[in-house]
A and B are shown apart, each in its own frame.
Chain A
Amino acid sequence: MSVFRSYRLRWERKRWRIRALRKRHDLKPISNKTATIAPRDILVLTTLRNERVRLPYFLRYYRELGVNHFLIVDNGSDDGSREYLAEQEDVSLWITRGSYKRARFGVDWLNWLARRHAHGHWALTVDPDEFLIYPFVDTRSLRALTDWLDASSIRSFGAMLVDMYPKGPIDDQTYVEGQDPFEIANWFDSGNYMISKNEKYGNLWIQGGPRARTFFADKPERAPALNKIPLVKWHRAYTYVSSTHSLLPRGLNLVYDEWGGEKASGVLLHAKFIDTFPEKAREEIERRQHYAASHEYKAYAAKLSDNPELWCKWSEKYINWRQLEILGLMSKGNWA
């Protein structure tokens, strides 16, 4: 990479950092328990809106993996999410009425919180409907993974988004609070992903899955990005660029091997498509706070009204991480 380009990226990174610094005024602390964070704690950073019904399972899932503290931004929930989160011992909560869109879909807020509280920690940035699966997740805690990454001098860990969906219409089964969403949405697309490289930031751009297949079959270039780098040994100088798809400095985006080998990677199981989805889609279209004028949600709404089924004959039923590794969606790399 030329000196000029690397210099320009440096300035871009600084710009995002300044922006995050500015956007910190959006955030109002409701319950700040960050003083209890111990030096080696693993943190989860999340921004959410009206996810009350999902929260109990979300918190439980990550607590069981070994997450020590949650840093959460509530963007104007009115369904009790805020009260629920404020009660939790290991959750620090900020609220904001600021525009989600103008905080670049929450990235600025989380960049700020990470810079302020996650320096030197392993930080996992996920949405409340994303559940991290990594190699040996059933027998080894998240700490085992981060220790191994530390020992291998790896600073970031990639985990692509895999959309999960139920068999039958999306709203057929009702999700009950505290329930594992993958009891309902336990199907996924195993082999229809397209990858290209983003030359500017060096990250991979992955599209495909059920959303490309059903909603964007005519305009594939608009299909949502599925590449994610959610787990990072955070340094205050780092910044997410767009969602958790890419970071700066650019070396953090090299979570893939270019010489034929496989690096270790995980998967974020995406529990978006359960019965809460149609309602969510309606709401988001009204709010117009999502990426590219919420075109994604418009496409969903149009399609879902006539046939709300993502399942097909070749869908794969989720069993465990080993299945995902055999199918080639994730890899153990050299972790054994």
Chain B
Amino acid sequence: MTVGFVMLVHTALDRAEQVARHWSKADCPVVIHVDRKVKKRDHAAFVEALADLSNVRFSRRRSCDWGTWSLVQASQDASEVLLAEFPEVRHVYLSSGSCLPLRPVQELKDYLAERPLTNFIESVTTEDVPWTVGGLDRERFTMRFPFSWRRRRRLFDWYVRFQRRWGLRRRVPEAITPHLGSQWWCLTRQTLTAILEDADRKKYDAYFSKVWIPDESYYQTLVRLYSTNIESRSLTLSKFDFQGKPHIFYDDHMQLLRRSDCFVARKIWPNADKLYSGFLSNDASVFSGAEPNPGKIDRIFSKAVERRTKGRPGLYMQSRFPNASWENGLTSAHYAVFEGFSELFQDFEDWLARLTGTRVHGHLFGPERAEFAGGQSVFAGALPDSAALRDYDPRAFLTNLIWNTRGERQCFQYGPRDTVAISRHLARDANATISVISGAWAVPLFYSNANFSVIRREAALLQKIESAHLDVLRSHQTKARVRIWTLADFVENPMEPLQTVIDELGVRTSHRLTEAPRMVSLDGFGQFLQNLKNQGMQPHLMGDFPAVIGGPAARTKPRKPYLVK
């Protein structure tokens, strides 16, 4: 008893010859179907090349197209030849010209001999398959498909829509329940002859010849009628990408294929010399009896599909440039934005860096330059600090920075003096944590030496910008985590908000803050705000600052660094 192979061949005839020879030498009969589209001369040479082998036959040639009935016909013809001419065959293995045996043929024979009545064919009901092309599963069996999906896609789609619209349906023959699965199977003589010699075969053939992609459903459905001994998996390792095309194996998959313990793999790139010479050499190995284990290959290919469909979040590059709201993450990692903190505290950046171990930049979007941590003029990924380059595409600057520093948390300062254009993007980004002390921009003005009229104008401008920015942050489209304190509230009790901010950064620190950054002195700041008011400008973002000179809030001593036990 042995296994016989049916091979469907349409290209790379030299490789098909090699594989057929390999099987034939191992005493496995082979029946080959060569596509009618192969040139006469090539076909003749192919037949000639295999002429020395007594157990190789050729079946009637048909012209085959992907996903059409002709493929089933080809396999029927070839199977009939195989079953009729080689009575010693117990299992029939359907393979293609781009299949490659990965384990010695003897191992396959032994494996099948141990399971003499088992049919290896993937066969699942339409409800359970996630991989159907074109979104058609159940409808494959109930619609008509007279137009080629490959060449007449529009007509195909139109006709499908038309049938859906008018509810046109075909009747499924009563006895059968549609099943789908990989078209590469291995059936027993018993089951296969039952399918091919069934009195109703004409009826089934007529039905399936108009089903879409019948080679994935004909045997898969009918096998359920004649056998209960079905292993619903294919012995052929064959992986499909998201468009339903088979993944191709190359020389560099050698180790993976070896370790997969699968019997046959497809599809092999015809020029993969190492694979062919490696797997077709007859180095005898002991039958390990190992079950096929394609897990690792599965992972690699499913990762590839995921990369193609989802991509790497936060990466913008030459072959991934998502439309708005299709980014799947505007940036690649969490980061924190601080507004007003470095204005209020003298050493905020150092303090934060020391406490949390994150990378703390100055005003990255500052008007003069991008203030990278440590005063560097170039930063990760060779990002330059030029304000002109940065403002040419501020979003790219931000996404680049976050992408380039994957694995290290970034923090930076922002304020109304900085590039305004980025504010919208920060707010939309779910990776951003934005902490704002509103109105803190007035503190540097308070300390500035400019003429008061200049200060007043500047204050009005900054307030307008920050007010618009806060509106953005408070809008319902904002995805960032936002916390806003007014300057007055913050100064009242700075430790609590600082603790919150540190906690939200999510880096492990000692449980309670023991050291606060040094706050600048705000003596007379209330009066400063009052002066602004007196000049006709209303500073409202700071909250309620007591304004009276010598009033209860005025301090007499310089504030001490905050210390908490």
Contact = CB atoms under 8 A, between A and B. Distances in A.
Contacts of A195: 316-318, 321, 393, 396
B400 to A, nearest CB: 5
A316 B381 CA distance: 8
Interface string B298-322: 0011011101111110011111111
Nearest to B332: A328
A260 interface: yes
Contacts of B305: 334
A265 B396 contact: no
Contact of B327 (A227, A260, A265): A260
A139 interface: yes
**Which range holds the interface residue count of chain A?**
35 or more
B293 interface: no
A316 B376 CA distance: 17
B160 to A, nearest CB: 20
A139 B252 contact: yes
A260 B326 contact: yes
Given A189-B382, A256-B319, A261 B309 contact: yes
B251 A139 contact: yes
Contact of B403 (A139, A260, A328): A328
Interface of B: 241-243, 245, 247-248, 250-252, 269, 271, 300-301, 303-305, 307-312, 315-323, 326-328, 376, 378-384, 386, 388-389, 392-393, 396-397, 400, 403-404
Contacts of A139: 250-252
Contacts of A199: none
A227 B301 CA distance: 28
B304 A335 contact: yes
A292 B312 CA distance: 37
A196 B311 CA distance: 19
State the 7 A-B residue pairs at the shortest beta-carbon distance, nearest first.
Answer: A191-B381, A334-B308, A336-B304, A265-B319, A189-B382, A191-B404, A220-B392
Interface stretch (A16-24, A91-99, A147-155, A177-185): A147-155
Given A151-B245, A258-B322, 19 more contacts: A144-B269, A158-B319, A160-B318, A191-B404, A195-B317, A218-B388, A257-B322, A260-B320, A264-B319, A265-B318, A328-B312, A328-B317, A329-B318, A333-B307, A334-B242, A334-B305, A336-B247, A336-B303, A336-B304
A74 B533 CA distance: 74
24 contacts: A136-B252, A144-B250, A148-B248, A160-B318, A191-B383, A194-B397, A195-B393, A216-B389, A217-B384, A218-B386, A220-B392, A257-B321, A258-B323, A261-B308, A262-B311, A263-B308, A263-B320, A314-B379, A314-B381, A315-B382, A331-B311, A331-B319, A333-B308, A336-B300
Given A191-B380, A204-B318, A262 B307 contact: yes
A213 B396 CA distance: 14
A328 B248 contact: no
Interface string A190-234: 111111110000001010001011001111110000010000000
Contacts of A237: none
A265 B397 CA distance: 22
B385 to A, nearest CB: 9
A130 to B, nearest CB: 15
B307 A331 contact: yes
A330 interface: yes
Contacts of B319: 158, 255-257, 262-265, 330-331, 333
A195 B382 CA distance: 16
A258 B252 contact: no
Contacts of B326: 258-260
A220 B242 CA distance: 39
A217 B389 CA distance: 6
Nearest to B389: A220
Given A313-B378, A328-B403, A141 B318 contact: no
A167 interface: no
Contacts of B328: 260
Contacts of B321: 195, 197, 204, 256-258
